[in-house]
Amino acid sequence: MNSFLGWLADRVKIQTDVYFAHRYHLSTDWFAPGPIKSLEIGPGGGLFTLAMLRNGNYCTSVEIADGGAERILERVKRNKFTQQFNLLRGHVNELHFDSVYDQVVALEVIEHIVDDETAIARIASALKPRGRLVLSTPTASGGYGLFGDYISPIEDGGHVRAGYEGPELDKILERHGLITVKRKYCCYAANQLLLSVSRFLPQPFSAGLNLLARPFVPLLDAPVGKPYMQLTLAIKI
């Protein structure tokens, strides 16, 4: 039964975050296909990892949390991608990477890191010339606006900053040889409200709202108000 539920979660992407499925599609649209080497920083439960593996990538994931490492290893094994996958344990700022990766994916990560400049430097060092970075962060103007968000002075799982404005993020990337080529803004006012309600509700009501609202989330993402989130595609020069 547990293995069936795991398989179902992999396929249907059941998440308590009502916005997750929409963000999943927006992000994975930019994932490069084929037998390339990809590095993922902060894989969480591993659904984005699975997308890269299904794309034919050889994926290395960097995970700091014990629980996250166990979940991702379970997911990779369950889907029979063990030969394409490698797990590194630790904080991205404490690891050194060779420039062997064609793609780095870091989704909702750097706003949790106090020394974000070092994190970007580590990411840039991992990429080959012309390698691509797929990055998502909250915006500074729209971030820290959802129920449950908080700013922390330490890395305890919360945001250490509200987010980044696009031009600010571009300058950080440029300092490390990364040039922004595309950006998408998403999660506008209606979906911010939906996400806050989802976070406020206890389980199983939150999960029920997630499944019921999922078909409407793309329609609700009309550009009204300030976007909560931005996706950035950058290339190493």
Quick check: 218 pLDDT over 70?
yes
Give the integer Cα–Cα distance in Å for 7 and 79: 8
What's the pLDDT at 186? 96
Does a structural domain hold residue 9? yes
Give the integer Cα–Cα distance in Å for 181 and 222: 23
Quick check: 145 pLDDT over 80?
no
What SS3 class is residue 232?
Answer: strand
Q: What is the mean pLDDT of residues 163-172?
A: 96
Instruction: Please state whether the predicted TM-score (pTM) of the whole model is above 0.85.
Output: yes
The number of domains in the chain is: 1
For 146-159, how does the pLDDT look when each residue is reduced to its tens digit (9 = 90+)?
888 889 999 998 89
Taking Cα atoms as reference points, which of 112, 70, 107, 67 lies closest to residue 91? 112
Does a structural domain hold residue 75? yes
Tokens 């998440």 correspond to 15
Cα separations in angstroms, 161 against 5, 110, 155, 164, 207: 36, 9, 11, 8, 28
Give the integer Cα–Cα distance in Å for 169 and 9: 33
Q: 13 is in which domain, residue-wise?
A: 2-185+227-236
Does a structural domain hold residue 151? yes
Peptide bond into 167 cis (omega under 30): no
Does a structural domain hold residue 11? yes
Tokens of 211: 């499944």
CATH of the domain at 18: 3.40.50.150
Does a structural domain hold residue 122? yes
Does a structural domain hold residue 220? no
Q: Which residue type does 23 have?
A: R
What's the pLDDT at 157? 87
Quick check: 22 pLDDT over 60?
yes
Quick check: 47 pLDDT over 60?
yes
End-to-end C-alpha distance for the chain, whole angstroms: 49
